[in-house]
């Protein structure tokens, strides 16, 4: 269900352009407009749900699909072997700024732990 004021729903609907790198029936992946790594891709479900905190049992397959898509993108773009990071920020204190669940795929540089 599309949310009228949701930036990512507008991208899914094609109302706002994005630099897509992948799409299928479940998700869309595009380059982040403020990259935090040489490769920074957002993988978003076509279906709107605000956050991982609001995900339900019915979203189990979608969540798995998002993660598998991120892994496949890392392999196909040639940085999986060196390593990459997958992040889901959840709610305000978790760093979420767009309230449509999304997966960050980051690669192309050394990451440290613990993050942020």
pLDDT in tens, 39-71: 999 999 999 999 999 999 999 999 999 999 999
pLDDT of residue 4: 78
Measuring CA to CA, which residue among 110, 49, 116, 55 is closest to residue 85?
110
pLDDT class of 115 with cuts at 50, 70, 90:
confident
Read off the pLDDT of residues 65-103 as tens digits, 9 standing for 90 and up.
Answer: 999 999 999 999 999 999 999 999 999 999 999 999 999
Say yes or no to pLDDT of 3 above 90: no
CATH class, range 1-39+55-94: alpha beta
Q: Residue range 4-28: average pLDDT?
A: 95
What distance, in Å, lies between the first and last C-alpha atoms of the chain?
33
Whole-number Å distance between alpha carbons of 112 and 110: 7
Give the position of tokens 């978003």.
44
Which residues form the catalytic set? 102
* pLDDT recorded at residue 1: 56
Q: 16, 38, 20: which is closest to 29 by C-alpha?
A: 20
The beta strands (E) that lie in 1-116 are given as 20-23, 27-31, 39-45, 84-87, 103-107
Q: What's the predicted TM-score (pTM) here? A: 0.95
């Amino acid at each position: 269900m599309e949310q009228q004021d949701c930036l990512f729903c507008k991208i899914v609907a094609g109302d706002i352009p994005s630099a897509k790198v992948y799409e299928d029936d479940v998700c869309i992946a595009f380059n982040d407009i403020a990259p935090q790594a040489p490769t920074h891709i957002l993988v978003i479900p076509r279906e709107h749900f605000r956050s991982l905190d609001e995900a339900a049992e019915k979203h189990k397959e979608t969540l798995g699909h998002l993660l598998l898509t991120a892994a496949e993108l890392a392999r196909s773009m040639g940085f999986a072997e060196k390593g990459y990071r997958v992040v889901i920020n959840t709610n305000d204190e978790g760093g979420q700024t767009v309230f449509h669940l999304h997966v960050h795929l980051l690669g192309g540089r050394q990451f440290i732990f613990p993050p942020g």
